[in-house]
Structure 1
Amino acid sequence: MPVAVYVLGLSIFAQGTSELMLAGLLPELSGDLGISIPAAGLLISAFAVGMLLGAPILAVVTLKWSRRTALLVFLGIFAATHVAGALTPNYAVLLATRVVGAFVYAGFWSVAAVTVVALVPVDRRARAMSVVTGGLTIATIVGLPIGTVLGQNLGWRSAFWTVAGLCVLAMAGVFATIPGGRPDPKSAPRLREELRALRHARLWLAFGTTALVTATILVVFSYLAPLLINTTGLTPSAVPGVLALYGLGSFIGITLGGRTADALPFHTLFVGITGLGILSAVLALTATNPVVTLAVVVLLGGFGFATNPALNARVFSLAGDAPTLATATNFSAFNVGITAGPWLGGLAIDAGAGYPALGWIAVATGLAALATVVVAAFLPVSSPGRSGRCGSDRTRRAA
């Protein structure tokens, strides 16, 4: 893999730490700002709303930009929103900084994905994307637990300052490894062709799968810290360690998924989603048992993140020669799930259903995700893209 692929993965680690760390900081945010746990959980949904809007908008705005310039601008704004968030005592202002930060984070994802795809052969796309997305799993293993420890001992604002510093370091790496200069006008993405690629039914089913799988993961993950404390009976000091175990499972899952998704995307999705559904049901039934809960948490991370390379690779293959806007829309679909998961979980908690009920919600969304995969498998393959083809015969079969 080119060095730039790993740099982009490390940049995702810096920003992904912010995306994930609130799951371990909800009790501290709730106490400091004087809000309920579900209200604090809406900060996760607000972040997802920003990404939902940012991915397609910034993908279009930056079509003709130098990729290095776009990535640096996005990282700089992301760092600034975390400085502002660390300084504000106001919940509404913090909510606004989460939306703005996520907006540019989505733009970074979109540009980074297209950059990575341009750097590697077609049959290495899923593996390259697993390296970049691996930055998010490392954020789960390292950034999320460290952010939780910082929040518990130095206040949640210290975690925001840490993310801002990591983003500045990421900017240095991007500047050093990503080539500058505008795209060649002859090969630059064209908006009309990008929009044409979005007309195909299989692509929208792929977006639906992305949203539903992500909701299945997030409905439990967003409230994992209070579930572990209030239902499983763990102490707050044990939560960072459990989150690190979740991250370890995620890292193993995305590594294995990256090795199978190029050749077997449907198989990878079917196994991953089925595993998520079964494990969510087990969690709903056994959340009061610490040993079983710890094992389930690790496996949830593994099965959930194993689907990620396949979710991305399918979109690249279906979009053909016009992947920019399709990729951005897929990232928006991720964030539909990130928005819906905490929202559905919050509804259940506010209604008094208890934290184990989150597992049953995940079972329902997982079954819906599995249905989209099965339907897509029986649809005929269409041929979007600039050249009227959807990649090679091998790529079409894999899609």
Structure 2
Amino acid sequence: MSVTTQSATHEGRKEWQLLSILAAIQFTNLMDFVILMPLGPQLMRVFSVSAQEFGLIVSAYTFSAGIAGFIGALFIDRFDRKTAILTLYTGFAVSNLLCALAPTYVILLAARVVAGAFGGIMSATAFTIVGDVIPEARRGAAMGFVMMSFSFAQVVGVPTGLVLANAYGWHIPFYMLAGTSTLVILIAVKILPPIRGHFDHRTDESAFRSLFSLLTKPEYIKAFIFVSSMMFAGFAVIPYISPFVVSNVGLSEGDLPYIYLLGGAATMFTARYFGKVSDRIGKHRAFALIGGFSAVPLLLLTNLPKSPLWVTLVVTTLFMILVSGRSVPAMALITSSVEPGKRGSFMSVNSSVIQLSSGAASFVGGSILGTSASGQITNYGLVGVLAVATSFLSIYLSRKIRSTEAKNVPTPLEELPVEAV
């Protein structure tokens, strides 16, 4: 084996280790978010709270993550990426332990605020590391690999958590997350290399001035508006899929797990595939194609009449594949649009934009919907039309995103100091 081949093999192995750690971090982060909603009936019964009060527990994470993203932008680029993500991950693990130990509704609510604060910035930092280390030519595939964690959380994490919760109580999934996070931290300390390449691009600009420039620079504003439109197109529809297919399409509540199991299983494969396609044909073109085709399931789902289970599953699976698939080239696009010295702060603000635009989309979608005398949801088709229009807007806006990679080349893993491989 030649020296060049050995070097390439070693480089590939280190990339795989890095991406596996980031995917594991994202898995626990996403698992923490998605497990809470299925636990709703137990939590409402145990704490004797209303649906509205339970909804506050869910939204506490989102709003906390949104606010924390702006705060994180003030300091995140001042630290080694490894130090930053492990510190945030430790706080996240502790917040899950606090959730598991929460004896009252108020304490659980406070623990969810803490989880959102750490989880939101942590997720942004994970994608920042991909942008810092993985060359643009392979970044789509890398993003797809890390983003498979959401599918894995749906297919494996949520069912496992629910089985344990039903058998031993709602605390168990949070104990499981705290324990898993601790194990990942111990492995990450050994495997993750120090990542300080962004220090070479630092300026003497104050933290607040740097944040101000992030929020006012035209190139960054375009990226934030782009990601807002993409998230809006999805989350105007997503929160209302379950009630719609039960009340309008004719599924039973017992059929709902099939939607998420099948959709999650499919996206485990398609996320990586879309990433490779993005690298091969270009991120802009890939986003335009996936985003354009996503209009089909958006309109089909929001106008679906009474249908057998298999028809519904085909439509919902296609929806999950294409609507979530857009995010793979989109994340590769926006991580390439910012200089390494500001990438952490940029992605932290971007995390806030994602959380806030998702919340706004859910609110707008819910405001349009109504309920008929028979209990069916009305105007969902109108929400679908709005989502499609916003989706095509995001395709147009994606053309405005320009890469800075010609001027800023990521530091290869081969050149990073590694503590242990």
Match of 1:63 among 64, 77, 88: 77
Alignment of 1:135-154 (within 5 A): 135-154=149-168
SS of the residue 1:63 aligns to: helix
Q: Mark the CA change 1:230 to 1:354 in structure 2 (over 3 Å): closer, same or farther.
A: closer
1:159 CA displacement:
2.3
Match of 2:295 among 248, 255, 277: 277
Q: Which residue of structure 2 aligns with residue 178 of structure 1?
A: 192
The residue type equivalent to 1:173 in the other structure is I
Q: Mark the CA change 1:47 to 1:184 in structure 2 (over 3 Å): closer, same or farther.
A: closer
1:72 CA displacement:
2.1
1:39 CA displacement:
4.9
1:267 CA displacement:
2.7
* Mapped contact 1:110–1:331 kept (Cα < 8 A): yes
Match of 1:316 among 314, 328, 335: 335
Alignment of 1:314-353 (within 5 A): 314-321=333-340, 322-347=342-367
Q: Distance in 2 between matches of 1:306 and 1:17?
A: 19
The residue type equivalent to 2:319 in the other structure is L
Is 1:286 the counterpart of 2:308 in the alignment? no
* Mapped contact 2:69–2:348 kept (Cα < 8 A): yes
TM-score normalised by length of structure 2:
0.79
Q: Which residue of structure 1 aligns with residue 30 of structure 2?
A: 16
The residue type equivalent to 2:54 in the other structure is A
Is 1:307 the counterpart of 2:326 in the alignment? yes
Is 1:161 the counterpart of 2:180 in the alignment? no
1:303 CA displacement:
0.4
Match of 1:267 among 285, 295, 303: 285
* Mapped contact 1:206–1:372 kept (Cα < 8 A): no
Q: Which residue of structure 1 aligns with residue 86 of structure 2?
A: 72
Q: Distance in 1 between matches of 2:34 and 2:253?
A: 17
Q: Mark the CA change 1:270 to 1:184 in structure 2 (over 3 Å): closer, same or farther.
A: closer
Q: Which residue of structure 2 aligns with residue 368 of structure 1?
A: 390
Give the stretch that moved more between structures: 44-53 or 297-306.
Answer: 44-53
Q: Distance in 1 between matches of 2:237 and 2:168?
A: 26
Q: Which residue of structure 1 aligns with residue 228 of structure 2?
A: 211
Match of 1:93 among 107, 129, 132: 107
1:32 CA displacement:
4.2
Q: Mark the CA change 1:209 to 1:77 in structure 2 (over 3 Å): closer, same or farther.
A: same
TM-score normalised by length of structure 1:
0.83
Q: Distance in 2 between matches of 1:355 and 1:78?
A: 37
Is 1:107 the counterpart of 2:121 in the alignment? yes
Tell me which stretches of 4 or more aligned residues in structure 1 moved more than 6 Å. 181-184, 349-353
Q: Mark the CA change 1:382 to 1:214 in structure 2 (over 3 Å): closer, same or farther.
A: closer
Q: Mark the CA change 1:227 to 1:25 in structure 2 (over 3 Å): closer, same or farther.
A: farther
Q: Distance in 2 between matches of 1:366 and 1:10?
A: 33
| Structure 2 gap segments, 5+ residues each | 1-11, 410-421
SS of the residue 2:36 aligns to: helix
Give the stretch that moved more between structures: 249-258 or 217-226.
Answer: 217-226
Alignment of 1:246-261 (within 5 A): 246-261=263-278
Give the stretch that moved more between structures: 86-95 or 42-51.
Answer: 86-95
Q: Distance in 2 between matches of 1:277 and 1:33?
A: 41
* Mapped contact 2:247–2:376 kept (Cα < 8 A): no
* Mapped contact 1:150–1:158 kept (Cα < 8 A): yes
The residue type equivalent to 1:78 in the other structure is F
Q: Mark the CA change 1:210 to 1:83 in structure 2 (over 3 Å): closer, same or farther.
A: same
Give the stretch that moved more between structures: 306-315 or 44-53.
Answer: 44-53
Q: Distance in 1 between matches of 2:204 and 2:248?
A: 52
Cα deviation digits, residues 218-272 of structure 1 (max 9, x gap): 3443344444555544444443332111212322332232123344323332333
The residue type equivalent to 2:396 in the other structure is V
Give the stretch that moved more between structures: 40-49 or 192-201.
Answer: 192-201
Q: Distance in 2 between matches of 1:356 and 1:158?
A: 38
SS of the residue 2:405 aligns to: coil
Q: Distance in 1 between matches of 2:92 and 2:267?
A: 25
| Structure 1 gap segments, 5+ residues each | 384-389
Q: Distance in 1 between matches of 2:376 and 2:230?
A: 22
* Mapped contact 1:253–1:305 kept (Cα < 8 A): no
Give the stretch that moved more between structures: 360-369 or 100-109.
Answer: 360-369
Equivalent pairs counted in the alignment come to 387
Q: Mark the CA change 1:327 to 1:236 in structure 2 (over 3 Å): closer, same or farther.
A: same
Give the stretch that moved more between structures: 220-229 or 297-306.
Answer: 220-229
SS of the residue 2:264 aligns to: helix
Q: Which residue of structure 1 aligns with residue 141 of structure 2?
A: 127
Percent same amino acid among aligned pairs?
21
1:8 CA displacement:
0.9
Q: Distance in 1 between matches of 2:56 and 2:306?
A: 25
Cα deviation digits, residues 91-129 of structure 1 (max 9, x gap): 443333222211111221222222222222222222222
Match of 1:118 among 132, 135, 160: 132
The residue type equivalent to 2:134 in the other structure is V
Q: Distance in 1 between matches of 2:305 and 2:92?
A: 36
Q: Mark the CA change 1:313 to 1:149 in structure 2 (over 3 Å): closer, same or farther.
A: same
The residue type equivalent to 2:258 in the other structure is G
Q: Bigger radius of gyration, 1 or 2?
A: 2
Q: Mark the CA change 1:298 to 1:154 in structure 2 (over 3 Å): closer, same or farther.
A: farther
Q: Which residue of structure 2 aligns with residue 242 of structure 1?
A: 259
1:35 CA displacement:
4.4
* Mapped contact 1:85–1:94 kept (Cα < 8 A): yes
